[in-house]
Copies of this chain bind each other. A is one copy, B any other.
């Protein structure tokens, strides 16, 4: 989901099921990695010819086929054909603007999700689409490019850590889902830091940059919210065990991911409320500062304008102005001015403007 809703349009007009890659164009080669395991055996290899990943469909071992890169339509189409994936779903895999969703077929479950990463350089949340095809004994995952949050899962499979090698493809799917949802917490932490910093700024020294940060955070929050909200339905759709592919023992784990998703959504709502509140506070403190500026101006004007007027009077050149001849006229005038000035100060003091 691009921030300004673009890119999707170029597909309009094509017959449904036409495979077109919608997303940033990339030129690197697609990388296909296979992890194949049972409780006792383990095999990991990179596949160079797409046909090499066909046989796993029939093998009784659990197989995870990870496809990094979806810009080569041919490869995706071949895998899809071999594993019996509906052309409309292949279209969804290729369209990186797809909304997170779940489709439940008889012999596989199809998932689209968003993987989030925080780009430290551009200070922006980067989004990558991940699609899963979950079969009885395989999981195929499609990503936009190399680099993901699945390394801990790979490590656990390699080292037979935890129960993962003893469980089936549904547990593997869960483990991948869990890794994605867990990674959201990193993003939230980053944003939490920003909000905390912003809050301090807001109190200490709010300026136009504060406003920009608030605006940026609001936009990111809108954007995040739209990416994460549908996840709720997706995961609850999986855990409602309508599919024979999800074993009962995996249920409780899915419920756990669901809990985490709710927590992510909760935190996002939380942040939204906080950022909204900050804008109000910012506006208020702007008004406050305007008040202060106005007071300074008013105090100066109200004290010195009358004084200048008095000085102006005795600067007049009338031939007959008795005070001008008085010995103490000058000092008297100064005293009157001082009196006016002090009166004004007392008045403002009383009004709590000083």
Contact = CB atoms under 8 A, between A and B. Distances in A.
B300 A305 contact: yes
A294 to B, nearest CB: 5
A160 to B, nearest CB: 11
Interface string A192-218: 110110000001010010011011001
Contacts of A324: 317-319
Given A266-B226, A302-B300, A8 B185 contact: yes
A82 interface: no
Given A18-B162, A211-B288, A283-B284, A293 B296 contact: no
Interface in A280-327: 280-291, 293-298, 300-302, 304-309, 311-321, 323-327
A318 B290 contact: no
B288 A286 contact: yes
Given A178-B16, A298-B293, A320 B327 contact: yes
A318 to B, nearest CB: 4
A315 to B, nearest CB: 4
A277 B222 contact: yes
Interface stretch (A62-70, A72-80, A239-247, A251-259): A251-259
Contacts of A226: 266, 269-270
Interface string A317-345: 11111011111111001100100000000
Given A88-B252, A99-B263, A290-B294, A333 B316 contact: yes
Contacts of A304: 305-306, 308-309
B13 A179 contact: yes
Nearest to A312: B311
A337 B324 CA distance: 19
A92 to B, nearest CB: 8
Interface in A44-64: none
A156 B301 contact: no
User: Which secondary structure dominates where chain A touches chain B?
Assistant: helix
A302 B297 contact: yes
Nearest to A316: B314
A38 interface: no
A39 to B, nearest CB: 15
Contacts of A284: 211, 279, 282-283, 286
A275 B262 CA distance: 27
A92 B11 CA distance: 32
A176 to B, nearest CB: 12
Interface string A165-201: 0000000000100110011011011011101100000
Given A16-B162, A284-B279, A300 B293 contact: no
Interface centre among A5, A183, A302, A309 (most CB of B within 10 A): A5
Interface string A73-116: 00000000000001010001000011101010000000000000
Question: Which 7 A-B pairs have CB atoms at the shortest separation, nearest pair first?
Answer: A311-B312, A15-B162, A4-B192, A12-B182, A13-B152, A314-B316, A318-B330
24 contacts: A1-B270, A4-B196, A5-B191, A5-B192, A7-B189, A11-B182, A12-B149, A15-B156, A16-B178, A17-B162, A99-B259, A103-B255, A222-B270, A282-B284, A294-B297, A298-B300, A301-B305, A312-B312, A315-B317, A317-B321, A317-B324, A318-B329, A319-B325, A321-B330
